[in-house]
């Protein structure tokens, strides 16, 4: 009888499940993880530790993954140790921390060394320990940030990467290198001639730039390693170049009279071949991360729209059908989105993303100044940088790919055409 | 009579034919019931319902670039339901939900005060009004409290349920993108006549404790609308299956 009762009890839910309504709940609200980064312990001079902690907090806040808790609210003893047995986790739980970052910083020759620890507050245990070295506090903090991002996401962090952008002034056009957080600007080139649209080689050393140094727009390559600046032998009026993801080819726009088309060539500028042949304007090629496709802009349909084609020029198809001025495509390293600039019906420029597969467009910026433009992807695909005049003068803004968290990264400084570099080679 | 019955139950050789006969009879009844009843509303392989309430308003012209959706207006605070005893759980994993008020974090926050009499306040009100008009793309047959510009398939009650659950569906941003591709979890909610979830069962876990914990928190913190009267028994006894995905 007991078996029978069991059978009947099992059968009833099965019968019910067949008629049970089902709904799908998606689009979760991703919330940053509450993280506490108290002052680092220091051996000797405390200033490097103080600066490293400040830079680390800024990095972690910028990446959008974490909510940095205000150190002024911390209840724990400032002299609390690094290891789990010495930590009163209840006090960190009280202030709402899920994660607790501890570090001790000391001088190491000409540079710095740190013992980094990450603790899970609820579990009351250490989950990460790293011994790190770096030449200065900023570099040390960026290394720490990358380690923490990798721990939580399983993906490499971007804080040791760099951005370049063109800074405009009355006297010159400068190619400026920034840390990934938009700080620490260094002028690589200062030219009286126009300088436009830098683009990185995947080796992280070469930067392709459109320069008018020769009296007409041509592609030049700047090398960080030897600070050389050399013209590519394309033999064309060329602009807006982009190296392929494997670094062996480059795509660019070349003009022949009033007609412009998309071309590809070897990375050294040889063997150039035209991919588009319409009489319309075809320009601004951007590689897909697998190097098999190119996004580009064409006005062949009457207004500038985004198109996609195979890397050999075949199967050209229109991607965007909304808006009448879409430009500057940049393919996400993840391959799932293309960021671009578009002018909307209010005549303001904003940043959007479009799926290369479905053509669905999502807006990133809205009512944030009159011009948000020229997006570029972090190599992780988790962040976008673009220029914005929301503070009056174009500055770099870093955003998540949905535009939900945006933060100005540089001072307002007439910046244009930013390009985010690749992961550093270990 | 009672002595004969006691005797039959006490002898296994007489009991087993009766058990087998009973099993066969029940199997026949289940089969006939299954054949005779109409097809279920949803089959296992059928696409689950994804419903959205369309906002009342004019559709945005298709040739224009999209505007960002405005956040939905804060829901009115519902009165606290009368406590209902949790039904006995059908499996050991069923969890009784205390009839608690929604989390303070889910409650509507008052916006910044605007002084209508001041020039700045008037300008701000005017700008907000313009923005609202532009953002309120919808459909002429939409609902006054709709929150989507395009229609989805489904009924109104389930649309409200999805909307409420989505408001409490919060995940840590640190969940990696690879995990986001496949993380899903399923719960069955048993919903009382006043909308209270009397119990839920996590029928399919994701394997990620942070994700599963977030699903349970979403259910615990969400107050659902009362089911329509004809469906109250269905949602209380059979329950509603909710597939959470990213």
Count CA within 13 A, CB hemisphere, residue A358. Answer: 7
Whole-number pLDDT of residue A412: 75
Strands A66-68 and A33-36: what pairing?
parallel
- Among B87, B172, B217, which would you mutate to test the A interface (most chain A Cβ atoms within 10 Å of its Cβ)? B172
Q: Are strands A33-36 and A125-134 parallel, antiparallel or unpaired?
A: unpaired
The structure tokens 């996004």 sit at: A295
Nearest to B187 by CA among B218, B224, B232: B218
The mean-pLDDT minimum among A138-152, A354-368, B101-115 falls in B101-115
**pLDDT over 60 (residue A26):** yes
The pLDDT of residue A347: 93
**Mean per-residue pLDDT of chain A:** 92
Of B60 and B3, the structure prediction assigns the larger pLDDT to B60
A contact test, residue of B93, B174, B246 with most A CBs within 10 A: B174
DSSP string, A97-119: -SEEEEEEEEEETTEEEEEEEEE
Q: Cα separations (Å) of B59 from A145, A149, B150, B166? A: 45, 42, 8, 24
A319 to chain B nearest CA, in Å?
A: 13
Q: What confidence tens digit (pLDDT) does each residue in B13-65 have?
A: 777 777 777 777 777 766 555 444 443 343 333 445 555 666 677 788 888 99
Half-sphere exposure of A139 (CA within 13 A, CB side): 9
Query: Could you tell me which residue, B234 or B85, shows the higher pLDDT?
Result: B234
Helix (H) or strand (E) holding B54: none
Task: Express each pLDDT in A231-277 by its tens digit.
Answer: 999 877 899 999 999 999 999 999 887 789 999 999 999 999 999 99
| pLDDT greater than 80 at residue A198 | yes
A31 touches B: beta carbon within 8 Å: yes
CA distance B158 to chain A (A): 7
Question: What does the pLDDT look like over A319-344, one tens digit per residue?
Answer: 999 999 999 999 999 999 999 999 99
Distance (Å, whole) CA A323 – CA A308: 17
Distances (CA, A) of B199 to A117, B189, B238: 40, 6, 12
Sequence-separated (6 or more) residues with CB below 8 Å from residue A393: A412, A413, A414
B174 vs A contacts (CB less than 8 Å): 33, 65-66, 152-153
pTM confidence score: 0.72
Query: Within an 8 Å CB–CB cutoff, is residue B63 touching chain A?
Result: yes
- The kind and range of the H/E element at A6 are helix A2-18
Candidates A18, A24, A30; nearest CB to B243: A24
Tokens of residue A358, six digits: 């479905």
Q: How far is CA A305 from CA A283, A295, B222, in A?
A: 11, 10, 44
pLDDT at B142: 61
List own/partner pairs for A226-235 with CB under 8 A and 24 or more apart. Answer: A227/A188, A229/A189, A232/A208, A232/A265, A232/A268, A232/A269, A233/A268, A233/A269, A233/A270, A234/A265, A234/A269, A234/A272, A235/A272
**B154 at the A interface (CB within 8 A)?**
yes
Q: Which of A21, A34, A335, A339 to mutate to test the interface with B (most CBs of B within 10 A)?
A: A21
Are A134 and A111 a contacting pair, CB within 8 Å?
yes
Q: In what order do the strands lie in the sheet with A229-231?
A: A195-200, A206-211, A218-223, A229-231
A317 pLDDT exceeds 50? yes
pLDDT in tens, A70-106: 999 899 887 899 999 999 999 999 999 999 999 999 9
- How many angstroms separate the CA atoms of A373 and A385, rounded? 9
Segments of A7-98 assigned E as strands: 22-25, 29-31, 33-36, 41-43, 66-68
Show residues of chain A in contact with B210, CB under 8 Å: none
pLDDT tier for residue B140 given thresholds of 50, 70 and 90: low
Q: Which of residues 93-122 of A touch B (CB under 8 A)?
A: 98
Q: How far apart are CA A249 and CA A270, in angstroms?
A: 9
Token pair recorded at residue A157: 């962090």
* Residue B30: per-residue pLDDT: 62
């Amino acid at each position: 009888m007991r078996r029978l009762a069991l059978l009947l009890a099992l059968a009833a839910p099965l019968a019910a499940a067949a008629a049970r309504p089902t709904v799908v709940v998606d689009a979760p609200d991703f919330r940053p993880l509450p993280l506490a980064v108290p002052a680092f312990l220091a051996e000797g001079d405390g200033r490097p530790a103080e600066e490293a902690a400040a830079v680390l907090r800024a990095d972690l806040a910028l990446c959008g993954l974490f909510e940095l808790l205000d150190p002024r609210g911390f209840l724990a003893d400032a002299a609390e140790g690094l290891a789990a047995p010495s930590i009163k986790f209840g006090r960190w739980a009280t202030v709402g921390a899920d994660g607790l970052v501890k570090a001790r910083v000391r001088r190491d020759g000409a540079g710095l060394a740190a013992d980094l620890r990450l603790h899970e507050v609820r579990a009351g245990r250490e989950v990460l320990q790293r011994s790190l070295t770096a030449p200065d506090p900023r570099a040390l903090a960026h290394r720490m940030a990358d380690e923490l991002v990798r721990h939580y996401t399983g993906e490499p962090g971007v804080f040791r990467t760099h951005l370049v952008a063109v800074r405009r002034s009355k006297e010159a056009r400068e190619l400026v290198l920034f840390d990934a957080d938009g700080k620490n600007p260094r002028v690589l080139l200062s030219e009286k001639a126009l300088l436009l649209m830098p683009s990185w080689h995947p080796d992280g050393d070469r930067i392709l730039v459109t320069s008018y140094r020769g009296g007409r727009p041509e592609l030049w390559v700047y090398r960080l390693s030897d600070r050389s600046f050399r013209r590519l032998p394309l033999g064309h009026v060329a602009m807006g170049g982009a190296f392929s993801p494997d670094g062996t080819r480059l795509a660019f726009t070349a003009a022949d009279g009033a007609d412009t088309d998309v071309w590809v060539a070897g990375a050294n500028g040889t063997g150039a071949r035209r991919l588009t042949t319409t009489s319309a304007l075809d320009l601004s090629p951007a590689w897909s991360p697998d190097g098999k496709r190119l996004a580009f802009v064409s006005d062949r349909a009457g207004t500038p729209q985004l198109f996609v084609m195979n890397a050999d020029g075949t199967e050209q198809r229109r991607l965007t059908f909304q808006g009448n001025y879409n430009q500057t495509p940049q393919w996400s390293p993840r391959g799932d989105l293309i960021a671009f600039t578009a002018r909307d019906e209010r005549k303001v420029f904003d940043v959007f993303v479009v799926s290369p597969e479905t053509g669905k467009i999502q807006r990133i910026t809205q009512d944030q100044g009159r011009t948000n433009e020229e997006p570029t992807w972090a190599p992780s695909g988790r962040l976008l940088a673009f220029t914005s005049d929301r503070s009056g003068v174009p500055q770099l803004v870093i955003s998540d790919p949905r535009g939900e968290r945006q933060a100005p990264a540089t001072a307002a400084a007439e910046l244009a055409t930013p390009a985010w570099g690749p992961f550093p080679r270990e | 009579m009672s002595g004969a019955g006691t005797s039959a139950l006490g002898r296994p050789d007489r009991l087993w034919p009766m058990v087998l006969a009973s099993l066969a009879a029940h199997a026949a009844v289940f089969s006939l019931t299954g054949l005779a009843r109409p097809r279920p509303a949803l089959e296992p392989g059928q696409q689950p319902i994804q419903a959205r309430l369309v906002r009342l308003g004019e559709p945005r012209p298709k040739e224009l670039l999209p505007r960002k959706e405005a956040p939905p207006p804060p829901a009115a605070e519902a009165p606290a339901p009368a406590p209902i005893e949790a039904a006995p759980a059908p499996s050991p994993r069923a969890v009784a939900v205390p009839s608690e008020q929604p989390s303070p974090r889910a409650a509507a926050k008052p916006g910044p005060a605007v002084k209508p009499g001041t020039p700045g306040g008037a300008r701000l009100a005017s700008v907000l009004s313009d923005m609202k008009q532009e953002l309120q793309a919808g459909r002429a047959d939409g609902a006054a409290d709709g929150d989507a510009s395009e229609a989805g398939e489904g009924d109104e009650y389930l649309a409200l349920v999805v909307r409420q659950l989505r408001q409490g569906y919060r995940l840590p941003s640190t969940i990696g993108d690879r995990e986001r591709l496949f993380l899903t979890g399923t719960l069955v909610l048993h919903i009382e006549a006043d909308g209270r979830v009397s119990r839920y069962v996590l029928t399919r876990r994701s394997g990620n404790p942070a994700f599963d914990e977030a699903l349970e928190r979403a259910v615990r913190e969400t107050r659902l609308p009362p089911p329509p009267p004809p469906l109250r028994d269905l949602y209380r006894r059979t329950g509603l299956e909710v597939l959470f995905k990213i």
